[in-house]
Every structure is written in structure tokens, then in C-alpha cells.
Amino acid sequence: MSKKQTIRDLKLDGATVLVRVDFNVPQKADGAVADDRRIRSALPTLQYALDHGAALVLVSHLGRPTGKPEEDAKFRMDPVARRLEELIGRPVVKADDVVGPSAQAARANLKPGGIVMLENVRFHPGEKKGDPEFARQLASLADAYVNDAFGTCHRDEASMVAVPSAFPAERRAIGFLVEKELDILQTLLGEPKRPMLAIMGGAKVSDKIQVIENLLAKVDRLLIGGAMTYTFLQAKGHAIGTSRSEPDKLDLARMLMEKAGDKLMLPVDVRVTDSVSPPGTVQTIDGHDLPEGWGGIDIGPKTAAIYADLIKTAGTVVWNGPVGKFEDEPFRDGTLAIARALAESPAITVVGGGETAEAIEQFGLADKVTHVSTGGGAFLESLEGKTFNSLAIIPDLN
């Protein structure tokens, strides 16, 4: 993986820099920012540019706009701009459009040290279409382009590919957040410190097939949890009760188990419930056969202890997918045990995927691991071995 040109390589003094950030943050019912982790993650890049004499024009998407103004009002960037203003300690001017009169006026009044946040870039139809004219208008607002939106790097939208293409190569760069993500991925996919473990949770084997296949050649152990456990158990002929599974993916699960051999570890005990809506009755079942009328909802305590011991003696650990329904307190013990083990491990510990990041943040342990990726889909696709046009357009360092 080649090293990319970063914001350190740009001439910033007196320049206006268009920074593609990923401020697609969780929102409360009133539209306020519910979790500002993604905003905080971008602060080092933004502060560096400001400290070196630049002005900033920030572009991000938020939510899934439909194109209907009344429905989309909750996706305006105003609450995000207010939260950034609080975090960065200086005014943030919010434009009411992306490339129209409001954006143009805000840009005209921008001075070194100033910040403009454009309206939700997905409000403009040119973003999803990768429209070159829209990209040209957006690029005209600045002298240089910085991609610090790792969570959107797997998308070929205008602000990710066509906009940087409108700048000369020497004025395109990545920010510190994207640089860190790429460094971590290089560690995971290059020469990781041994032994290397991957913990795969979540619901579907089919969602993780390419990740699992790509990691099998690299990891020493692959620890399975979450609802995907029961597809593997069903494929081995075990009774899974009412557990969620993918009956049409049993051959796939068998193929993966055959390919993995003793690298792949399934839970030795599971927590089961007679109702997924608490307060159902919960019990622990040893072994792999579940009673009729009961469904698996979490890994059991013996499995949690085995997995935790492996994590604590590992050299590198990558975790994607909760191992139980952690959102509900009766079913969070397994996911919490994994999170605590990562926090206590001397290994390089990397957490990726939206729900997994949410879990470790909720447990207050995000600062105790090496890295929590801000890119859900982009992180997964990177682990699959995919490359992104949004990064290919950024020059490599000589």
C-alpha cells in the first residue's frame, strides 16, 4: 500500500482548502448531534490547516436525503456546524446551499483562519451522479483538496472522486484521519505482529464472506460470534432452536469451515432466550445443540473466557461485529467481555464496523484500544482487499 500525499505536503499559508469530512453523525429526534466522535476525529486535520494559515471549506453528507425538502430538513448541517464550533473554539459559518449563492457569498467573505461548512452535499443531485459540472463548481470554492472522510472512501460520489480530479495533482491530499486508517490497514494486511486474531460477529455469514476469505490467509485464529454462529452450527448438523440463521448459506459456511480448518473457532457455550424482547428468560447452554423454542442471543461465559485469553496473548487483533445483542443489557455480556479483553491486551487492537464501534464507545473503552475505525463499509471493503478510486486519485509520495 503506497504512502499518499498528505496535508503536510500542501502549501497552506493563505490558501483555502476544501476538506471532505465525514460528519455523517448519529442524530437525536430533534436533529441534534447524538455522538460527535466523527467530528472529533477530524479535528487534528482541521486544526493543522488553520494553524498553518489556511481557511477551510468543509463538505459532508448527513443521513439519507430523499429529495423532499420537508422530509430532508432534519438532515441540514446546522446542528453539526454548531457542534464543530463548540469543539474547535472558533466561528463556523454555515452556508445554506452547496455551490449556490450562499456558498459563494460565504467563500467570498472567508479569511485565513475562517471556516465555512457547506450544506449537506447529498442535497445536490450532482453528488450521487458524480456530475463533472457540479464537481467543477464545488472545486472552484478552494485552492486545494483534502480527503479526510475515510467512511466514504468506498463511494465514487462527486465530492470523493470528481472534485479532487478538478484540482492539479500537487493540490490533492489526504488528512490525518485517512492517513491513520491506511496505516492501520497496512499493519493488518501487511506483516502483522503474531499471533493475529480476527473476531467476526454480526448477523450474516454472507455479509462477511469476502472479509473472512481474505483474512483466513493472514490470521492465526478466527473467532466467531453473533448470529452468524448459528449458520455455522446448522451447517454442521446441530439443532439451533429459534436462532437466526441463513439456511441458504449452509454450503458457504461448510466451505469456509473446510478452508479454515482449526483456525476457525465456534463458541463452546451460548446464551439463549425464549424471547428476544427482554425480559425473556435467559439460560446458558453448553455445547452446540440448542433446545426447541430457544434462540441463541450471545456467546456464553466459557466462550467469552476462552476468547479473552486468546486476545490477551495476541500480537494483533481485529474485531468486526458484536458477538451478541449488546443493545439489550441481558444480552451484552459477551460483547462487553470482548471489549474489555481488547482494552487490557498489549496487542495492536483494531475495532471496525459501525455497530462494533458503537458498542466499544458505549462501554467507555474506545480510548483503550489502538484504533476505532470511523469507516464502517469502507473498513470492511478494505479488509476484503478492495481498492478505492477516491484514494487512487490522491498522488503517491515519491
Annotated catalytic residue, options 100, 280, 315, 377: 377
pLDDT at 220 over 70: yes
For residue 136, say whether it is annotated as part of any ligand binding site. Answer: no
Average pLDDT over all residues of the chain: 93
- Torsion 352-205-193-1 (CA) sign: negative
233 pLDDT more than 80: yes
Q: What is the pTM for the complete model shown?
A: 0.87
Catalytic residue list contains 315: no
**61 in a known ligand binding site:** yes
CATH number of the domain at 184-383, please? 3.40.50.1260
Catalytic residue list contains 28: no
> Does 38 belong to an annotated binding site?
yes
Task: Determine whether domain 7-177 maps to CATH 3.40.50.1260.
Answer: yes
Higher pLDDT, 130 or 161: 161
- Candidate list 113, 218, 354, 368, residue with the active-site label: 354
How far apart (Å, rounded) are the C-alpha atoms in residues 201 and 324? 8
User: Is 302 among the catalytic positions?
Assistant: no
CA distance 77 to 54: 22
pLDDT over 90 (residue 150): yes
Q: Do the annotations mark residue 62 as ligand-binding?
A: yes
pLDDT at 278 over 80: no
With a pLDDT cut of 90, the percent of the chain lying above it is 78
> Which segments of the chain belong to CATH 3.40.50.1260?
7-177, 184-383
pLDDT confidence of residue 1: 59
Q: Is 354 a catalytic residue?
A: yes
pLDDT band at 384 (very low <50, low <70, confident <90, very high): confident
Neighbours of 63 (CB within 10 A): 16
